[in-house]
A and B are shown apart, each in its own frame.
Chain A
Amino acid sequence: MQATIAKLAERPNLWPWLLLTPLAIYLAVFFLVPLANVVFMSFTEPRLTLANYERVLTGALYQRVFVNTFATAALVTAVCLLVGYPLAFLMTRSSPRTAMLILTLVTMSFWTSFLVRTYAWMVLLGDSGPIIGFLKAIGIEQPPHLLFTRFSSTLAMVHILAPYMIMNIYSVMRKIDPVLIRSAQSLGARGAALFRHVYLPLTAPGIANGSVLVFVICLGFYVTPVLLGSPREQMIAGLIGTEIEEFLAFGRGSAMAIILLLITLVILTIYHRRFGLDKLWG
């Protein structure tokens, strides 16, 4: 008995691996194997070929969808930042109670099902919805279509992704030593100069974290753009769905998925080189 204990004590780093085993098995079976299958299909469907990649990388439709996906992700990230930064700042300046309340309201969208939220937007923005109704009531004869536009999909994606941005920025803002701000004031800084030279650089890690997270998640969005967006402004995930569901083009769909994955990994690698991936989680 004692010998066993001594033996275990000699190899203290065995336990973590043992505890990781269930997760490792799960990831292998449900993530790595299917992923390998996708890679395999992208080169073999319908036969051993590079044609899938060639088509996806050179076809005008695909190029447009890729560009649109990145443009949408950039737009959503920018809007999240514009909405999130002031809100996070407000939270740091509020009493703990108010900050808690804001945080609860912000994360409330996390607790609602993805589909429910999306359909809620459809109801709100639809031609017979309350917003259009209000616009008509105040005398606008031909209100613009809100649903199935870039506006509606961006709005819904911002709604879903803003909490990531807000929580990342808030956690960085909250850790800023108030002495730094006092120092800056005592040294003659205030207002815009204080913000530009001290506050903004100190919160930059939060901005970078939040932006990368929002951008990367947004790249792979499927439900929201498909259900709320304009069909002319498809995103990659939606197109992959169409390829596979409607054309049974498993090879092309897989090739697009792999390209999206590689691009995401490149973004994360650049981020890691610059900031360190561990910072992404606070």
Chain B
Amino acid sequence: MTSYLRLTDVSKIYGTVTALSKIDLTAEKGEFVTFLGPSGSGKTTTLMIVAGFEKATTGDVMIDGRSISAMAPHERNIGIVFQNYGLFPHKTARENVYFPLQMRGQAKAQGLRKAAEMLDLVGLKDLGDRYPKEMSGGQQQRVALARALVFEPSLLLLDEPLGALDKNLREQMQIEIKRIQRALGVTTVFVTHDQSEAMSMSDRIVVFDKGRIEQAATPLDIYHRPQTKFVAGFVGESNLVEATVTDAAAGKADAAELGQCDYKPDAALKNGQAVTLLIRPEHIKLSRQPLEGRKNVRIKVDTIVNYGDNALLMGHTEKRTLRCRVLGADIVIIKEGDECHLSWLPDAVVPIAG
């Protein structure tokens, strides 16, 4: 079975600059896929190529088995929500949502009714007669979403749509977008540089860096089994330790900065291979004395950043700093400048080749 959205060997070269090099990716029907990466990583370029606003230098884009590479944007039947929404200021919310139907020659009465229904779905039942400038950022966002969905697009593209909203509204809209996307079952590509947004919303995350795809996997796999150092560092907080495998079968490595480290055995690794070990801060335990059955490291506490329910603790051994996340209840006994132990289980250490 072939995937619903398929990008094959897509590259984008501007003069001498390669913005995208040989991207291959797929999305299944109804899937919510997120392109995650820092700015300039190629995620937005890829989105614009799918939308038709950028032309790929090489490669092909297919939807439902049909190549759309030669089509102009208006022929592609793709709904897009831009970062600043792109609402027409001279049209009311309802007229904005009616616009794509109008362009498709739908009768006015029927089209306006459909637009009103869609506004209802996004929770703006009574605001159809307002102009964009009379609405809040979150409301404008919903209008843009309704407008991108009302014509039953074959694909929904969201280009950092939550970037301009404040934190609370952002979280609310994340839930809202997911709810609407599920209700309509529309295949969605979401672009963001915010990793927590990507984690909470996606069925699958595609991590971009320097015009390449670093990893494409479920949010849990991206977080717990990153395949590259970049992914490990970009998604979530991390302690990354350089090491060399000493016993591949038993999962043992030697790290210059931490000494002997046990990790979760990985068949792909060989003795003598250089690896990066990932230890997530929340997998590290803080104690006064060394703990049995765990790798223990003695540190001096440098900084404690308290968030109430939890705290981030940064400390250093003789050779490097380590960060760990502690429950708020546990932190009260520790002060900056104290000496204590950090420890973790071998299963919490994820080896990354290279």
Are B74 and A185 within 8 A (Cβ)? yes
Are B90 and A182 within 8 A (Cβ)? no
Per the 8 Å Cβ criterion, residues 79-94 of B in contact with A are: 79-80, 82, 84, 86-90
Docked complex Cα distance between A198 and B91 (Å): 9
A193-B103, A202-B90 known; A185 vs B73 contact (CB < 8 Å) = yes
Query: Chain A contact residues: over half helix, strand or loop, or mixed?
Result: helix
Are A190 and B86 within 8 A (Cβ)? no
Are B151 and A187 within 8 A (Cβ)? yes
Are B90 and A201 within 8 A (Cβ)? yes
Binary per-residue interface labels of chain B (47-83) against chain A in the complex, 1 for a CB within 8 Å, 0 otherwise = 0000111000000000000000000111011111010
Max chain B Cβ within 10 angstroms of own Cβ: one of A180, A184, A186, A188: A186
What's the nearest-Cβ distance from chain B to residue A197, in Å? Answer: 7
Are B88 and A182 within 8 A (Cβ)? no
B26 in the interface, Cβ–Cβ < 8 Å? no
Docked complex Cα distance between A179 and B87 (Å): 9
Are A179 and B147 within 8 A (Cβ)? no
Are B84 and A179 within 8 A (Cβ)? yes
Are A186 and B78 within 8 A (Cβ)? yes
Task: Report which of A179, A186, A204 forms a contact with B74, defined as CB distance below 8 A.
Answer: A186
Are B51 and A186 within 8 A (Cβ)? yes
The number of chain A residues with a CB under 8 A from chain B is 18
B104 in the interface, Cβ–Cβ < 8 Å? yes
What's the nearest-Cβ distance from chain B to residue A182, in Å? Answer: 6
Task: Report which of B53, B86, B151 forms a contact with A177, defined as CB distance below 8 A.
Answer: B86
What's the nearest-Cβ distance from chain B to residue A189, in Å? Answer: 5
Are B82 and A182 within 8 A (Cβ)? yes
Chain B residues near A186 (CB-CB < 8 A): 51-52, 73-74, 76, 78-80, 148
A183 in the interface, Cβ–Cβ < 8 Å? yes
Binary per-residue interface labels of chain B (114-149) against chain A in the complex, 1 for a CB within 8 Å, 0 otherwise = 000000000000000000000000000000000110
Docked complex Cα distance between A265 and B138 (Å): 42
Docked complex Cα distance between A199 and B102 (Å): 16
What's the nearest-Cβ distance from chain B to residue A207, in Å? Answer: 13
A187-B151, A188-B151, A189-B74 known; A182 vs B103 contact (CB < 8 Å) = no
A191 closest partner in B (C-beta): B74
Chain A residues near B104 (CB-CB < 8 A): 188
Task: Report which of A177, A179, A187, A201 forms a contact with B103, defined as CB distance below 8 A.
Answer: A187
Docked complex Cα distance between A186 and B51 (Å): 7
What's the nearest-Cβ distance from chain B to residue A163, in Å? Answer: 27
The number of chain B residues with a CB under 8 A from chain A is 26
What's the nearest-Cβ distance from chain A to residue B79, in Å? Answer: 7
Per the 8 Å Cβ criterion, residues 92-116 of B in contact with A are: 99-100, 102-104
What's the nearest-Cβ distance from chain B to residue A266, in Å? Answer: 26
Docked complex Cα distance between A265 and B196 (Å): 59
Are A188 and B86 within 8 A (Cβ)? no
A187 closest partner in B (C-beta): B100
A180-B88, A201-B90 known; A187 vs B51 contact (CB < 8 Å) = no
What's the nearest-Cβ distance from chain B to residue A179, in Å? Answer: 4
Are A183 and B86 within 8 A (Cβ)? yes
Chain A residues near B102 (CB-CB < 8 A): 197
Chain B residues near A190 (CB-CB < 8 A): 72, 74
Chain A residues near B72 (CB-CB < 8 A): 185, 190
Task: Report which of A180, A193, A201 forms a contact with B86, defined as CB distance below 8 A.
Answer: A180
Docked complex Cα distance between A189 and B147 (Å): 13
A177-B84, A187-B151 known; A182 vs B99 contact (CB < 8 Å) = no
Chain B residues near A198 (CB-CB < 8 A): 88
Chain A residues near B73 (CB-CB < 8 A): 182, 185-186
Docked complex Cα distance between A190 and B100 (Å): 11
Docked complex Cα distance between A188 and B80 (Å): 11
What's the nearest-Cβ distance from chain B to residue A279, in Å? Answer: 14
B82 closest partner in A (C-beta): A179
Are B99 and A179 within 8 A (Cβ)? no
Are B82 and A183 within 8 A (Cβ)? yes
Task: Report which of B53, B87, B100 forms a contact with A188, defined as CB distance below 8 A.
Answer: B100
Docked complex Cα distance between A33 and B211 (Å): 71
Docked complex Cα distance between A193 and B74 (Å): 12
Task: Report which of B77, B87, B103, B148 forms a contact with A189, defined as CB distance below 8 A.
Answer: B103
What's the nearest-Cβ distance from chain A to residue B81, in Å? Answer: 9
Docked complex Cα distance between A201 and B104 (Å): 20
A202 closest partner in B (C-beta): B90
Docked complex Cα distance between A198 and B86 (Å): 11
Are A197 and B99 within 8 A (Cβ)? yes
What's the nearest-Cβ distance from chain B to residue A190, in Å? Answer: 5
Binary per-residue interface labels of chain A (165-196) against chain B in the complex, 1 for a CB within 8 Å, 0 otherwise = 00000000000010110111111111001000
Docked complex Cα distance between A50 and B185 (Å): 78
A190 closest partner in B (C-beta): B74
Chain B residues near A183 (CB-CB < 8 A): 80, 82, 86-88
What's the nearest-Cβ distance from chain B to residue A103, in Å? Answer: 26
Docked complex Cα distance between A246 and B103 (Å): 63
In the complex, 28 of the A-B residue pairs with CB atoms within 8 angstroms, ordered by the A residue number, are A179-B82, A180-B86, A182-B73, A182-B86, A183-B82, A183-B86, A183-B87, A185-B52, A185-B53, A185-B72, A185-B73, A186-B74, A186-B79, A186-B80, A187-B74, A187-B100, A187-B103, A187-B147, A188-B77, A188-B103, A189-B74, A190-B74, A193-B103, A197-B103, A201-B88, A201-B90, A202-B89, A204-B90
Closest 4 CB pairs of A and B: A183-B86, A188-B103, A187-B100, A185-B73
List 7 additional contacts besides A179-B84, A182-B53, A187-B147; criterion CB under 8 Å: A182-B73, A182-B80, A185-B72, A185-B73, A186-B76, A186-B80, A202-B89
